[in-house]
Amino acid sequence: MSLKVLNLNRVIAWLLVVVWMGLIFFLSHQPATSSSELSSGITTVIINILENLLPFVNMEMNVFHSVIRKCAHFFAYFMLGVLVANALRIKGLYFVGLSLFICVLYAISDEVHQLFIPGRSGEIKDVLIDSAGSITGIVVYILFEKWRKY
């Protein structure tokens, strides 16, 4: 591959990271009522689907809503981990540490940001969930790359 193509790929990879971070920021910037409405709507759809598939299972909306919100944190940072790992493309343990550092630093900044949004709060628990999602995404990226090259 030519150097121009490699540089363009790298620019696109970092652009995807920035866009994904922007999406996380946008969702975090919503006041608590808007954020809750969005996740409640998603929760209702999922519960309706599950109740149709598994009518014998009784699901409590509040508990399931909380699980959906935490899964959203995990997934958002899983994707961030994959995107950052892809953008860095460095070999070795340094690569994993740097990828995770970037993701965790962003998770911390996201929770601090939420302290200034009406009805929202910054939670250490969410940083831990975000970090778990990030490291999982980084590991999945590494495994995929190893499999792809095999």
- DSSP structure string for 40-87: HHHHHHHHHHHHHH-TT----HHHHHHHHHHHHHHHHHHHHHHHHHHH
SS3 129: helix
Is residue 60 domain-resident? no
Domain membership of residue 37 (yes or no) is no
Q: What is the per-residue pLDDT for 13?
A: 95
Q: 109: closest CA among 84, 141, 77, 145?
A: 77
Q: Is 55 a member of any domain?
A: no
Q: Specify if 54 maps to a domain.
A: no
Domain carrying residue 108:
3-31+71-149
Q: What is the pLDDT of residue 3?
A: 60
Q: Give how many domains the chain has, as a whole number.
A: 1
Q: Is residue 47 part of a domain?
A: no
C-beta of residue 24 within 8 angstroms of C-beta of residue 74: no
pTM, full prediction? 0.82
pLDDT at 2: 61
